Structure 1
Amino acid sequence: MKQLATAQTVSTAHPSAFFARWADMATWPEWNADTAWVRLDGPFVQGATGVLKPKGGPKVPFTVEVLVPGREFTDVSRLLGARLTFRHLVERTAEGTTLVRVDVTLAGPLAPLWNAILGKDIRATLQQDLDRLAAVAESKAEARA
């Protein structure tokens, strides 16, 4: 398995605000600069499947492999000869903030090829996307307050 990138941020938004954004996949392009659209085939639950369309790339099927509300959301995209995994973790800190971390890995016999194709862009945008997600989560939480 190849670690492609890691991003982390601290937010004032509650973990549930992040899960609300992740569950509302149609809005992902608001904070994920590389995503044209995302469709989930049913409710946001472990085992759910969907399709993601990166800007300038082909549609990619994915599965919600792990879903622990308030703690972890892991999705796996099936690429030819490889699996691209985004593991999203949230944790409430003692200070009352939320620590959010995203780890991206590639595994499979064609992982080196996919790393050459996707790795640089993922590394370049992951932190920016997470920062935008935190801003959206915080603004949505403030709007509800």
Structure 2
Amino acid sequence: MFATIADVDSWNKWDVDLEFTRMDGAAQVGAGFILKPRGGPRIKIFIEEFQTPARFVDVAQLPLAKMRTVHEFIQSGRRTTIRVTIQTWGPLGFFWRKIVAEKQIRSAAAQTAAFVAYARERFQHGDV
């Protein structure tokens, strides 16, 4: 699972709301990338935490706000629980929570199912 979230350039293969994501170099703390949502502007994002295989945290630089997305992969035997947390803050944090974060929350179940299906496909083909 972690290898799939760390492959930032492939996010649009499992997230239908993205046109593309583009990262120059390896995914690591401090690395930046561009995310382009369908119908939206390009967004600059930085990786804040990168703890293989359990935690991937990025922070989006939005106008007058920031949005942190935390992906946690919690192992228990042969099962993995995926927990996604979204935080917004800044002068327009409430605005971005309404138009971006709440939409992500509403689509979280479908997006997580697509992510898991893509991760399984990669694993079966030996891509991870």
Fold equivalence (TM over 0.5): yes
Deviations 1:73-103 (A, max 9, x none): 0011010111111100012103x11111111
Gap runs ≥5 in structure 2: none
| Residue of 14, 23, 41 corresponding to 1:40 | 23
1:44 alignment partner, SS class: coil
Matched length: 127
Give the deviation of 1:143 after TM superposition: 2.5
Does residue 1:71 correspond to 2:54, yes or no? yes
- CA RMSD of superposed structures (Å): 1.6
What amino acid is aligned across from residue 142 of structure 1 in structure 2?
Answer: Q
What is the TM-score with the length of structure 2 in the denominator? 0.91
Indicate how the Cα distance of structure 1 residues 92 and 120 shifts in structure 2: closer, same or farther if over 3 A, else same: closer
CA–CA separation in structure 1 for the residues paired with 2:50 and 2:101: 25
1:52-67 to 2 correspondences below 5 Å: 52-67=35-50
Kindly report which structure 2 residues correspond to 1:67-106, keeping only aligned pairs within 5 A, or say none: 67-94=50-77, 96-106=78-88
Aligned-partner Cα distance in 2 for 1:92–1:76: 24
Question: How much identity, in percent, do the aligned residues show?
Answer: 28
Q: Distance in 2 between matches of 1:127 and 1:134?
A: 11
Quote the offset at 1:109 in angstroms.
Answer: 1.3
Aligned residue for 2:19, secondary structure, equals: strand
Distance in structure 1 (CA, Å) of the matches to 2:62 and 2:94: 12
Which runs of 5 or more residues in structure 1 are unaligned? 1-17
Per-residue Cα deviation, 1:111-135 (whole angstroms, up to 9, x for no partner): 1111232234212212211111111
CA–CA distance in structure 1, aligned partners of residues 97 and 47 of structure 2:
22
* Distance across 2 between alignment mates of 1:114 and 1:99: 27
Instruction: Determine helix, strand or coil for the equivalent of 1:139.
Output: helix
CA offset at residue 19 of structure 1? 1.9
* Equivalent in the alignment of 1:144: 126
Instruction: Report the 3-state secondary structure (helix = DSSP H, G, I; strand = E; otherwise coil) of the residue aligned with 1:21.
Output: helix
Which string of whole-angstrom CA distances, capped at 9 and with x for unpartnered residues, describes residues 42-75 of structure 1? 1111110111001100000000000001110001
Runs of 4+ in structure 1 over 4 Å off: none
